[in-house]
Amino acid sequence: MTDMEYTHQKRLLEAAFLMSAEPMRLEELSKLTGIHSLGYLKKILVDMKEDYLERGFHLIESPEGWIFQVDSKYLKKVANLTPYQDMAEGEKRCLALVAYKEPIMQSEVVNMQGNKCYTYIKRLAKKGLIKTERHGRSKIISLTTEFERYFGGNKQEIRDKLLKQIKKFEEREEQKELALDNAKSTGNAEELEERKVTDNTEVASEEVEQPSAGVEQKPKETSE
């Protein structure tokens, strides 16, 4: 590979990281760049990592893959610009529950949030925000050190922000229910039911992670 080609690949990778809201695995980056040697691709990424050491953001390798991440010194000042945009409402509620009760049994989370929380727990653990440890037939869930770094604050501040976000969501849902009840009394229920179905579909699309192509889904747990 010539110096020009090498520079081109680094710029292509940089553009990918700037556009992606999620970490990217080596396999994904290999397809993007056409570099079949994962070892050589990782060498380029390590070079890029060094390039960003003195910047306001860095290239890091997380358990999920490679991603640009804001320097911890500046994260608290800019975190409010994109508050939890990559988290569904269900994930926020699940994380807030863990934050207030940690360590908490997974079975307790299931009792409070239902079986859908298995998906939320899996996604939060994948982000590195929580960790799980086997305890009998269930698991113990607790926060990681990444939790505070990710949100740019201490645990109490983050808990309050998460609860505020959840409260806003629940208020919107309550307003929809009140509007539907009022519509039933005035004969406009059919129109609002259609609107409610549309809203619920949008919320569901945010909360349910679509499986990646070619990845086999594991069956959900049904009991603890």
Q: What is the pLDDT of residue 202?
A: 46
Say what the pLDDT of residue 13 is. 92
Average pLDDT of span 110-127: 88
> What's the count of helices (H) and strands (E) in the chain, helices before strands?
10, 5
When mean pLDDT is compared across 45-49, 75-79, 81-85, the lowest value belongs to 81-85
| Residues 49-76, mean pLDDT to the nearest whole number | 84
What are the pLDDT digits (tens) for 151-176?
A: 767 777 777 777 776 777 677 767 77
Taking the C-alpha atoms of residue 151 and residue 8, their distance in angstroms, rounded to an integer, is: 33
**pLDDT reported for residue 188:** 58
Q: Is the pLDDT of residue 19 over 50?
A: yes
Sheet strands (E) in the chain: 57-62, 65-70, 104-105, 130-135, 138-143
Lowest mean pLDDT among 56-60, 99-103, 107-111, 153-157: 153-157
Domains of the chain, start order? 3-70 (1.10.10.10), 72-209 (1.10.10.10)
